[in-house]
Amino acid sequence: MLAVVAPLVIITVVLREASTENTILEALREEYSRVHQSGVDHGKHEILQQDFTNPHLITAACLSCHTERGKEVLGNAHWNWEREAFIPGKGVTYLGKKSLINNFCTGIASNEGTCNRCHIGYGWKDKSFDFTNEYNIDCLVCHDNTGTYEKARGGAGYPVMGPAGPDFRKIVANVGRPTRTNCGYCHFHGGGGNNVKHGDLEMALLTADRTIDVHMGVDGMNLQCVDCHPAENHQMLGRYYGVSSSNTQRATCEQCHTSVPHTINKLNEHTVKVACQTCHIPVYAKVNATKMSWDWSTATRRKEGLPYQELDSLGNELFTSIKGDFTWQRMVKPEYVWHNGTADHHLCMEKIDLNDLPLRINTLFGEYRDRGSKIYPTKVHRGNQPYDTEYLTIIQPKLWDAEPGKGALWIDLNWEEALIRGMEYADLPYSGKHDFIPTEMFLPVNHMVSLASEALDCKDCHTRENGRLANLTDFYMPGRDYNAGIDTFGQLLILLSLLGVIMHGSVRFIIHRKAKVNPNT
Amino acid sequence: MENTKKVYVYKGFERFWHWTQAFLIMFLALTGFEIHSSYSLFGFDVAVDLHNKAAWAFIVLIVFAIFWHITTGEWKQYLPTTQNLRAQAEFYIFGIFRNAPHPTKKTLISKLNPLQRLVYLGLKILIIPVMVVSGLFYMFYRYPHSGVIKSANIESLEIIALLHTLGAFLLIAFLVVHLYLITTGHTVTSNLKAMITGWEELEEEAEPEEKAEAKENP
């Protein structure tokens, strides 16, 4: 009796379940359900009660009260499109959208007129832009709370003015804390269209429910971007490793949820090596598709002498003569990498190693053995970009211009001319010989966090075949890894033991039977 | 058969320890090999949870068992001896088929034959400690060098995990042979009965002889 009951008693005592209430989550729900109340009605300010015809004057009006905010903005990365960062092998660098290349339109150089529509300033149309002039700041793109402010296409950041433009009188009376609409105005459209670049940031987040994004869902906490990316003195919290390099000023899940957010301890133990996003963003691009690859080499192809485009059934561009071939995907499973918060970037003047392709436009540093590294989900965007076959550098083409005949690829559809003009503008040498080279870019996925019930399951990773982490082979993971030698030895040992006792037993049994039948022998 | 006498061989705690250990080792193997992805039974998360809880139960049991072995002097049962070792091996290979008598007389003071002494000692000082230590590292160590055990500097879970797996295979092989050897007592069921009830029929007159022998060759 004792032998049976005692182990059961021990097991029952040990198995007692801990409390499953998540107090952290409850406190957060309470905190973020308080609605932000502005202390000012800007409609009552006399200086704003006028019909503005010049956007710089709007900025001047803002700065007449918010006297120091201009200086703050002049120091931030949204303004400068570059940051100071130390990169191993490169030293202290000043990198950002201003100077870096990416895997989409390659870079802004010579294309400022269109790209810099998303700059928080007015008139960055070429190298002559004055970054020290506070009156060039566009306050409205971030602070318009009416959702009606618009920057002009090809306007280098200027809004449409005049009767076709937005109602500035209404807009300046309704400025305030940035909403998702403000941030999304640029960040949802990176790469030239909705959800093209990031895959986890798109228009759908303005209206989506909790199943799409558990934080921003309009039927849930309905969080705004700035709830997780707060700013102090216009310095925003948050890093995007397409342009950032250092492990500072990151917006993290932990800043609210702590590093031990689960009631199940085994899950908390994972946070040492696994980023929250890895389990909690099982798929991205949950509503609209995101661009997964971009092949520039087919650009300029025409049909019967004319530029054309092909769309898929959902209306995504599969080919356009000005940009080449694309592939799109919805409900994408991320690819996983080790990442410690630091990154490197391939610069336009750096030599390409043709033995190490595809060329990594950005490199996320990290490995298992690195104490600060965790496994992160990424969107890997694959490209095919023009490069100089003599100088072995990526070539920055001139893509856009306001008028034809200036060498812009998207207007004149001439690769050679676009490459020459682009490199000329960037002050970089070009041999005149180009080809295309496979490239990839790693974009960590941080948004579209799923419901807890849809987070990854143990077996998504702890499985022998085709697990989510099948490509991260620099460590031993239970359930996935084993030593073939030990497993074979062990199985053989058990098999031989079984065979041994069966044979031994059978012989005993047979002899025993014989002895019974013939007791005299 | 010679005169036999019913002797109380296995004390209450001893039997409790034996059967709890038997259950825990089998349960740990069952859940452990699910974690090894050998099959799906409880579900990975449940298997991990049960495995860890059973591991703690096992460790508690081991602490009590060590205390019992020391205080009762029963640890001496596992002192290895070469006396009769060859005869015992020959018995399992040949003698058992000819209904030959057991070469080692089982007594209260010497319950184990020389082969058992060697194998159980190996389990106690090698396999079980390796399983417990590697298991604790498995549970607490965050690789590399992080988590609760910060002072140790182990780069990888791999060596720990492989030792733990190897030990598990050895324990199962032991279990297979051990279960079979239950049937090799005086009768097919006498060993099993003894470990359940504590009582076993032992040859009476052999006892004093063995006692003397044991004193000469501790």
pLDDT in tens, chain B (218 residues): 457 888 999 999 999 999 999 999 999 999 999 999 999 999 999 999 999 999 999 999 999 999 999 999 999 989 988 888 888 888 888 888 888 888 888 888 888 888 899 999 999 999 999 999 999 988 887 665 555 556 666 778 899 999 999 999 999 999 999 999 999 888 889 899 999 999 998 876 544 444 444 443 43
User: Angle CA(B173)–CA(B178)–CA(B182) in degrees, nearest 5?
Assistant: 155
In the block, which residue shows the tokens 């002097």? B73
Contact flag A273-B177 (C-beta cutoff 8 Å): no
**How many whole angstroms from its chain centre is CA A41?**
36
DSSP per-residue codes, A328-346:
EESSBPPEEEEE-S-EEE-
Contact flag B57-A368 (C-beta cutoff 8 Å): no
Instruction: Supply the mean pLDDT for chain A.
Output: 94
Continuous H helices in A87-130: 112-115
Residue B206 lies in a domain: yes
Contact flag A10-B96 (C-beta cutoff 8 Å): no
The boundaries of the domain holding residue B98 are 4-29+69-216
Contact flag B158-A481 (C-beta cutoff 8 Å): yes
- Quick check: bond before A358 cis, omega within 30? yes
Tell whether A516 lies on the interface with B, counting CB pairs under 8 A.
Answer: no
Beta strands in B31-145 (DSSP E): 141-142
Tell whether A331 lies on the interface with B, counting CB pairs under 8 A.
Answer: no
CA distance A511 to chain B (A): 7
The pLDDT assigned to B201 comes to 86
Contacts A–B by Cβ distance under 8 A: 123
CA distance B33 to chain A (A): 9
Tell whether A507 lies on the interface with B, counting CB pairs under 8 A.
Answer: yes
Cβ count within 10 A of residue A390:
12
CA distance B88 to chain A (A): 15
Tell whether B153 lies on the interface with A, counting CB pairs under 8 A.
Answer: no
Residue B132 lies in a domain: yes
Tell whether B165 lies on the interface with A, counting CB pairs under 8 A.
Answer: yes
Contact flag A481-B161 (C-beta cutoff 8 Å): yes
Residues 10-69 of B with CB under 8 A from A: 12, 15-16, 18-20, 23-24, 35-37, 43-45, 48-49, 52-54, 56-57, 60-61
What is the rounded distance in angstroms from the CA atom of residue A38 to the CA atom of residue A44?
Answer: 13
Contact flag A501-B37 (C-beta cutoff 8 Å): no
Cβ count within 10 A of residue A382:
16
Note the pTM of the prediction, 2 decimals. 0.90
Using CB atoms, which residue from A7, A458, A491 is nearest to B23?
Answer: A7
- Quick check: bond before B144 cis, omega within 30? yes
| Region of B36 on the Ramachandran plot (φ > 0 left; ψ -120 to 50 alpha; else beta) | alpha
| Torsions phi, psi for B122 (to 5 deg) | -60, -45
Helices (H) and strands (E) in chain A, counts: 17, 14
| Per-residue model confidence as pLDDT tens digits over A223-260 | 999 999 999 999 999 999 999 999 999 999 999 999 88
B165-177 CB burial, b ≥16 within 10 A, e <16: bbbbbbbbbbbbe
How many CA atoms lie less than 13 Å away from A383 in the CB half-sphere?
26
CA distance A264 to chain B (A): 10
What is the rounded distance in angstroms from the CA atom of residue A352 to the CA atom of residue A392?
Answer: 5
Residue of A267, A507, A508, A518 to mutate, testing the B interface (most B Cβ within 10 Å of its Cβ): A508
Provide the domain count of chain B. Answer: 1
Residue B25 lies in a domain: yes
CA distance B174 to chain A (A): 8
Contact A55, A161 (CB under 8 A): yes
Contact B145, A465 (CB under 8 A): no
Q: Which residues contact B79 (CB under 8 A, 6 or more apart)?
A: B117, B121, B218
Contact B81, B114 (CB under 8 A): yes
| Per-residue model confidence as pLDDT tens digits over A4-35 | 677 667 666 666 655 556 788 999 999 999 88
Helix (H/G/I), strand (E/B), else coil: A430: coil
Residue B51 lies in a domain: no
DSSP label of A185: H
A43-59 CB burial, b ≥16 within 10 A, e <16: eebeebeeebeebbebb
Tell whether A488 lies on the interface with B, counting CB pairs under 8 A.
Answer: no
Average pLDDT, consecutive stretches of 10 residues, N- to C-terminus, chain A (521 residues): 67 60 86 88 95 94 97 96 93 94 95 96 96 97 96 94 90 96 97 96 97 97 96 95 95 94 90 95 98 97 95 95 97 98 96 96 94 95 97 97 95 96 96 97 98 96 96 95 97 97 92 76 47
| Region of B214 on the Ramachandran plot (φ > 0 left; ψ -120 to 50 alpha; else beta) | alpha
CA distance A479 to chain B (A): 5
Q: Which residues of B touch A513 (CB under 8 A)?
A: none
CA nearest to A268 within chain B: B147
CA nearest to A505 within chain B: B180
CA distance B176 to chain A (A): 6
The pLDDT assigned to A19 comes to 53
For the record, the structure tokens of A192 come out as 């030239």
Q: Which residues of B touch A462 (CB under 8 A)?
A: 35, 37, 44
Contact flag A508-B96 (C-beta cutoff 8 Å): yes
Tell whether A360 lies on the interface with B, counting CB pairs under 8 A.
Answer: no
Chain length of chain B: 218
The helix or strand, by DSSP H or E, that contains position A327, with its residue range, turns out to be strand A324-329
What's the Cα-to-Cα distance from A493 to each of A65, A488, A500, rounded to whole Å? 83, 8, 10
Tell whether B96 lies on the interface with A, counting CB pairs under 8 A.
Answer: yes
CA distance B172 to chain A (A): 7
Contact A204, A289 (CB under 8 A): no
Contact flag A501-B169 (C-beta cutoff 8 Å): no
What is the rounded distance in angstroms from the CA atom of residue A509 to the CA atom of residue A456?
Answer: 53
Contact flag B45-A476 (C-beta cutoff 8 Å): no
CA nearest to A459 within chain B: B44
Q: Which residues of A touch B166 (CB under 8 A)?
A: 486, 489-490
| Per-residue model confidence as pLDDT tens digits over A478-507 | 999 999 999 999 999 999 999 999 999 999
User: Angle CA(A217)–CA(A218)–CA(A221) in degrees, nearest 5?
Assistant: 70
Q: Which residues contact A185 (CB under 8 A, 6 or more apart)?
A: A118, A141, A149, A151
| Per-residue model confidence as pLDDT tens digits over A80-133 | 999 999 999 999 999 999 999 999 999 999 999 999 999 999 999 999 999 999
